[in-house]
Structure 1
């Protein structure tokens, strides 16, 4: 099986944790539901129906943390456009604002590994990445947080089944792929654990949450997993989320 590999990064990112309201917190990396949206933007799929084409039955995704996870708080002025507070043709006459502090990812960078079952979509995504083009603008969570990206290449991946040995995994890892939560913890690493939304239906209702294990600085995690995929040209081992 071949997969498309590309890096995506920006000055700031924000992937809102679903349980936060007045002071939004961010996941450390984009959940798969957010990546679905990114792929839809690359391919020019309408935001109302892209989930018909980009979902668990049509795509496989792995994610690697490239830059250490750093966060900062930034105050944003939110405006109410639904209650008639805009008194002019533009936003210059707005008289109602609410300032909210957002937790932002600082200098986030990730590597995405993508396989699309639809050959036409796969070929289109590859061609766009090679030309550094998108149909719609790509952002890191919020529309204001514009993302840049770089094509790494198309690579053959080899599926590996557990031999009950510790294997260095370069991507984030689903907990249900770990064998008895068996991880070889190293003293100089920062291991983190997070529950994230992983699937949603066409009505944008979350249908699956999963537990993810990862290392804050993107270092490989030595662990026992049920299965993983090896990329010989990159010398990387990944697991799908």
Structure 2
């Protein structure tokens, strides 16, 4: 199944809305930037390129680069962005044409990354940032009330799966997600978590704060509510 069919083209209208809305919410962190902004923007782990369309719509003069490691998903991005020749698509960080970026997005990536790789990615971000650069990261909230609501949705679709069994869902609902997550591999033979369940944004936030200054954070889809009442959390960071 394609990346788009798992997200913005999902059969469930609510899931489609939430995925499209998170692109808009990611850009709210840049509300003080004028539409004439002509700096450089990297979408790190950019999937099929949908966020880049939103970025281009807001900042048509910016230099936009999408980095996607997985070949099949990168191919989706190439097809999805055929009408956006201004957007550069790369599959290797060594192929990026710019030494650093003004803004780096990393949306819904870390819940799939094994924990021992966090610091490696943080170091890559640091290499690509100047002292004035912004790093915008989003991760899902998979504990407390959001975990229950997501769990019910998943159980309706695939009851009994790792992320859709009552025991695991209830553990996440009380804020104690399973410590052992199922690891798979992606096309590059890299370790990978396919399921979101078991990811804990609180642990991630602690590790993020060791590398970056978290300037601001907010929830989604309703920014003024706490993370325990939202499905995603966004972080705006500097070096």
Give TM-score scaled by structure 1 length.
0.24
More helix by share: 2
More strand by share: 1
Q: Which has the larger radius of gyration?
A: 1
Higher relative contact order (CA 8 A, sep 6+): 1
Give TM-score scaled by structure 2 length.
0.24
